[in-house]
Amino acid sequence: MENRSDFLIIGSGIAGLSFAMKAASIGTVALITKKEKAESNTNYAQGGIAAVVSGTDNFNLHIQDTINTGVGLCHRDAVEMLVMEGPRRLNELIQLGVDFTRTGDKLDLGREGGHSQNRIVHAHDHTGAEIERALLHSISLNPNITIYENHVAIDLITEHHLGKKISPESQINCWGAYVLDVHRNCVLKFLAQFTILCSGGLGQVYLHTTNPAIATGDGVAMAYRAGAVIANMEFIQFHPTTLFNSGSPAFLISEAIRGFGGVIRSRKGEEFIQRYDSRGSLAPRDIVARAIDIELKKSGEEYVLLNLHHLPPDKIKEKFPLIYETCLSKYRIDITKEPIPVVPSAHYSCGGVKTDLMGRTSIKNLYACGEVAMTGVHGANRLASNSLLEAIVFSHKAFDQAKGINRNDQTSIPEIPDWDDSGTIDTEEWVLIEHDKKEIQQIMWDYVGIVRSNHRLDRAYRRLSLIQNEIENFYKHTKVVEGLIELRNLSTVAGLIIRCALMRKESRGLHFTTDYPNRDDEHWLHDTVITLSDI
């Protein structure tokens, strides 16, 4: 069975929905999503979109803040494009009906770590959900877009599936993806002239994460297996302030709270981050997360405290209604009176499938946008609230490229074989999947977290290699199900993170290793690039 469209989009976050809405003006769109269409990292984004819209702000300041936070690895051309196009793309969302918070007739602008100005456009503290709402409403009115919920991409369709031998110098083409229809329990061919990965992040590779259960690194894993260039996977951002002991995914306490005046203190009351950075609680995320991690290890405590009770209670409730209500009703914490116990959790991947400024990957007709992509914007550490901005800017650039495709040239897609699961068996040994998943998450949390070392990384690599071999053998002999697909992808991206971390012999941004504690611009002022042929 097959599905043909002009555009295949994998993922329903802000990048995928933005692209779908525009692509539908020139062709047919198939959008596949693992769960319900509103389940994505975008939907969990509290903070907002960073954009230069204030008369006291300017492009150069936003560019410099981004580059400073990225610790030398940002691609300046990508950052300049991001910042300068941001206001136009933001205005498109406003025209679409996104209800951003206003003060009078002006957008209310918040401030977050690493920013020198108030420039965070937000919808109170549930910005991602509000953007998803507006985009999904617009898409529901467009007959050219079909959304396939509970469909899980297995692998990208390339020359590999035609039985062709591919050398490192070969041009690889993408013609779509094999996709599991979870409800019907069958594998379909989704074929398209233009495939765009908008599959989001990989936070579930860690034991503690702010990401939803669907964030299993599928896009990066599929692209890597297909032969795409992957870059900077060692740079995993840990959000400094998630609610202690709040389950999985961990409940995020927005960075905007610190921008509003919240202060991080030890349980003894010390404002300790000042010892690591003069900006204190408003330092970039890598510095704050590492400071908390070091203090917790030294003290033996399980969490630190985020204090807001010195701020006006009415203003806290007005600006952060979701956080206030959740903490009060679910966790019995009145944040206007009591400190919030917080710990860092895995939050965002600054690396991913390497693209150019137009979203193009190294595989022909395969594009990537959003967290799955490594555009060069974030460098070694992402500036807060640049992620939603990146998604809308680069999905628009990908659309600019899409406008050039010849939609009448169906001969460009060769005859693709049906999914072959002959020789495989159904199994009820799903306890193996859950056990391997937990083991991967524990390994990554213990050895490939905020602070690393050669010994920890080597140990993680050896242990993960055994698990990967076990998973791949199980995969080859078993009919595919959602959990097995995700487990295979988790093991793949975990391996990529470890390998990139072992390659970088310095500490920079989100990658801190005790064996090389200093930044080394002479040898490491470049991206960490990896492909399937490097094994």
Per residue in 477-516, pLDDT (tens digit) is: 899 999 999 999 999 999 999 999 999 999 999 999 999 9
- Which residues of the chain does CATH 1.20.58.100 include? 430-528
Phi, psi of 125 (to 5 degrees): -120, 30
Single pTM value for the model: 0.91
**Which residues fall within 8 angstroms of residue 487, CB to CB, at 6 or more apart?**
433, 436, 437, 440, 471
Chain centroid, CA 265 distance in Å: 28
Q: Residue 320: is it exposed, middle or buried by C-beta count within 10 angstroms (0-12/13-18/19+)?
A: buried
Cα dihedral: 249, 253, 255, 261 (round 10): -170
Kindly provide the b/e burial profile for residues 193-218, where b requires at least 16 CB atoms within 10 angstroms of the residue's own CB.
bbbbbbbbbbbbbbbbbbbbebbbbb
Which pLDDT score is estimated for 535?
64
Which pLDDT score is estimated for 429?
65
Which pLDDT score is estimated for 420?
87
Sign of CA dihedral 20, 24, 27, 33: positive
Which pLDDT score is estimated for 370?
96
Which pLDDT score is estimated for 354?
98
Measured at the CA of 460, the angle between CA 456 and CA 463, to 5 degrees, comes to 140
Residue closest to 189 by CA, chosen among 348, 418, 483, 461: 418
Which pLDDT score is estimated for 178?
98
Query: Which uninterrupted H or E stretch holds 156?
Result: strand 151-156
CB 497 within 8 A of CB 236: yes
Token pair of 120 as six digits:
């965070």
- Which residues of the chain does CATH 3.50.50.60 include? 2-235+350-412
CA–CA gap between residue 449 and residue 234 (Å, rounded): 10
- The yes or no reply on domain 430-528 and CATH 1.20.58.100 is yes
Which pLDDT score is estimated for 125?
73
Could you tell me whether strands 176-181 and 340-349 are parallel, antiparallel, or unpaired per DSSP bridges? unpaired
Q: In what order do the strands lie in the sheet with 109-110?
A: 49-50, 120-121, 109-110
For the segment 25-79, what is each residue's pLDDT rounded down to a tens digit? 999 999 999 987 555 545 555 568 999 999 999 999 999 999 999 999 999 999 9
For the 2-235+350-412 domain, the top CATH level (class) is alpha beta
Among residues 111, 258, 285, 452, the one annotated as catalytic is: 285
CA–CA gap between residue 504 and residue 173 (Å, rounded): 30
CB 61 within 8 A of CB 55: no
In this structure, the chain runs to a length of 535
For the segment 121-136, what is each residue's pLDDT rounded down to a tens digit? 998 878 888 998 999 9
- Terminal Cα distance for the chain, rounded: 34
CA–CA gap between residue 535 and residue 533 (Å, rounded): 6
CATH number of 240-344: 3.50.30.10, 3.90.700.10, 3.40.640.10, 3.90.550.10? 3.90.700.10
Which pLDDT score is estimated for 409?
63
Which pLDDT score is estimated for 491?
97
Residue ranges of the alpha helices (H) in 70-149? 76-96, 127-140
**Which residues fall within 8 angstroms of residue 268, CB to CB, at 6 or more apart?**
none
DSSP state of 209: B
Per-residue pLDDT of the chain (535 residues; tens, 9 = 90+): 789 999 999 999 899 999 999 999 999 999 999 987 555 545 555 568 999 999 999 999 999 999 999 999 999 999 999 999 999 999 999 999 999 999 888 999 988 878 999 999 998 878 888 998 999 999 988 999 999 999 999 999 999 888 777 777 778 999 999 999 999 999 999 999 999 999 999 999 998 899 989 999 999 999 999 999 999 999 999 999 999 988 878 898 988 888 889 999 999 999 999 999 888 888 888 889 999 988 988 888 889 999 998 899 999 998 898 899 999 999 999 999 999 999 999 999 999 999 999 999 999 999 999 999 999 999 999 998 999 999 999 999 999 998 877 666 656 788 999 998 887 887 766 677 889 999 999 999 999 999 999 999 999 999 999 999 999 988 988 999 999 999 999 999 999 999 999 999 999 999 999 999 999 999 999 999 999 877 6
Kindly provide the b/e burial profile for residues 93-108, where b requires at least 16 CB atoms within 10 angstroms of the residue's own CB.
beeeebebbeeeeebb
Which pLDDT score is estimated for 472?
92
Crossing angle (nearest 10°) for helices 482-503 and 454-476: 150
- Which residues of the chain does CATH 3.90.700.10 include? 240-344
Which pLDDT score is estimated for 47?
66
CB 89 within 8 A of CB 52: no
Token pair of 125 as six digits:
């503290």
CA–CA gap between residue 94 and residue 103 (Å, rounded): 15
Per the annotation, the verdict on 76 as an active-site residue is: no
